[in-house]
Amino acid sequence: MTVYMIVEDDPTKGTAYRAFERHYRSDDVEFRIMHSPKVALETLADTRERSEFDGVIADFGLGGCRQDNWHKRIEIDGPDGTPYTVSTGLGVLDWVHTVDPELHLWALTSDNAAHAPLFMSAAALWLNAKPLSLTRLTTPGSALGDRTRDEFLEPNRFTQLNPSWRRMDNASAALAALLNRELTAVESFDWIHALSSLKGLHRGLIPALNERIQSITRNSKLKAFSNTLAPAMATWQIHLDEIYEGFPDMRQKTRWQQFDPDRLPGALSAWGEFNPFTDFLADHTETREFFAAEDVRIALMKWRGRGQRP
């Protein structure tokens, strides 16, 4: 029997996964659904229980970032012994990748979700996790469903069986390029975290951004200046657009300014009417969560620790 843990808090999706499992049960595919990061990690922390699984499939948004969902998240020790909170599916996959690199991993979400390109590309780049579109688990008996079953039975054939792998190769390369464009020796990830918390803000961006980036980095002297922020932000936008290329257009693509990498803007006036960071990323709960969640930042730092420097 091939056994996979699915970490999913949505009961409707869980029902669909059970239907998929029933259809392919004769092919020895079994799912065990965990409804929170806490339950998933507590289960997998037991070596004997973990040995029963061939891999882990995790949705990103598991409700763990909500203040009132304290029972869904779990605090664990980080690489340096400092505790941090696992609240997202990416955090679960990162923890599994650390404790048992041999387990196969999939990043599960709907292609139409605003956070899908970020979650899937980060999981692929940082953790070697395979992308898993929700529709592949909701069409048992179809050619797509059969290929998904085959991928679960033979994960190492994913380049032949997974319809998203080439798109994910491109998205992961774009994410790496975005992450490797620092500003003032601060991670671009942190700058985008700050920008994506300033929903709809255009006027007065610099003072608000300075306040947020100082809070995020705990560096009260750190400041952005429009003449250096503008070209950096344009570069991030170029790579962000590349990450989303190939996914359904949920980002109002026609409103994104087109920048020439060889002639980047030197002023913030280029974003006078629409800014993808404050008007798109900031407008969706799970894209904000991607940049704000502690476990996502930890996963990035572990990737950096494995030698991936700007």
User: pLDDT tens digits, residue range 15-53?
Assistant: 999 999 999 999 999 999 999 999 999 999 999 999 999
Domain range spanning residue 132?
Answer: 2-163
Number of structural domains the chain divides into: 2
Do residues 19 and 137 share a domain? yes
pLDDT at 234: 98
CB 304 within 8 A of CB 212: no
In what side-by-side order are the strands of the sheet with 29-34? 29-34, 2-7, 55-59, 104-109, 130-133
| Mean pLDDT of all residues in 150-164 | 95
Do residues 145 and 237 share a domain? no
| DSSP state, residue 280 | I
Give the pLDDT band of residue 56 (cuts 50, 70, 90): very high
Do residues 198 and 156 share a domain? no
Is residue 172 one of the residues assigned to a domain?
no
Give the long-range contacts of residues 218-225, CB within 8 A, separation 24 or more. Answer: 222/184, 222/186, 224/183, 224/184, 224/191
Do residues 136 and 268 share a domain? no
Do residues 8 and 139 share a domain? yes
pLDDT at 121: 98
Do residues 6 and 126 share a domain? yes
pLDDT beyond 90 at 202: no
Nearest to 99 by CA among 62, 56, 64: 56
How far apart (Å, rounded) are the C-alpha atoms in residues 46 and 48?
6
pLDDT at 307: 82
pLDDT beyond 90 at 210: yes
Percent of the chain with pLDDT over 70: 99
Is residue 36 one of the residues assigned to a domain?
yes
Give the pLDDT band of residue 90 (cuts 50, 70, 90): very high
Side-chain-side CA neighbours of residue 19 (13 Å) = 15
pLDDT beyond 80 at 295: yes
Helix 89-99 and helix 37-44, axial crossing angle in degrees, nearest 10: 10
Is residue 89 one of the residues assigned to a domain?
yes
Is residue 308 one of the residues assigned to a domain?
no
CATH number of 98's domain: 3.40.50.2300
Tens digits of residue pLDDT in 126-150: 999 999 999 999 999 999 999 999 9
Percent of the chain with pLDDT over 90: 89
How far apart (Å, rounded) are the C-alpha atoms in residues 170 and 117?
11
| Mean pLDDT of all residues in 51-70 | 90
Is residue 260 one of the residues assigned to a domain?
yes
Which of residues 138, 163, 188 is at a domain's end?
A: 163
pLDDT beyond 90 at 203: no
Is residue 300 one of the residues assigned to a domain?
no
pLDDT beyond 70 at 200: yes
Do residues 71 and 140 share a domain? yes
Is residue 309 one of the residues assigned to a domain?
no
Is residue 171 one of the residues assigned to a domain?
no
pLDDT at 309: 62
Do residues 195 and 273 share a domain? yes
Do residues 39 and 135 share a domain? yes
Tens digits of residue pLDDT in 235-289: 999 999 999 999 998 888 999 999 999 999 999 999 988 999 999 999 999 999 9
Which of residues 136, 163, 190 is at a domain's end?
A: 163
How far apart (Å, rounded) are the C-alpha atoms in residues 145 and 162?
11
pLDDT beyond 80 at 159: yes
Which of residues 132, 163, 194 is at a domain's end?
A: 163
CA 44 → CA 27, 74, 97, 226, distances in Å? Answer: 24, 13, 12, 47
pTM: 0.95
pLDDT at 310: 53
pLDDT beyond 80 at 211: yes
Tens digits of residue pLDDT in 91-124: 999 999 999 999 999 999 999 999 999 999 999 9
pLDDT beyond 70 at 199: yes
How far apart (Å, rounded) are the C-alpha atoms in residues 304 and 310?
9
| Mean pLDDT of all residues in 183-205 | 94
Do residues 102 and 22 share a domain? yes
pLDDT at 100: 96
Do residues 189 and 136 share a domain? no
Do residues 56 and 11 share a domain? yes
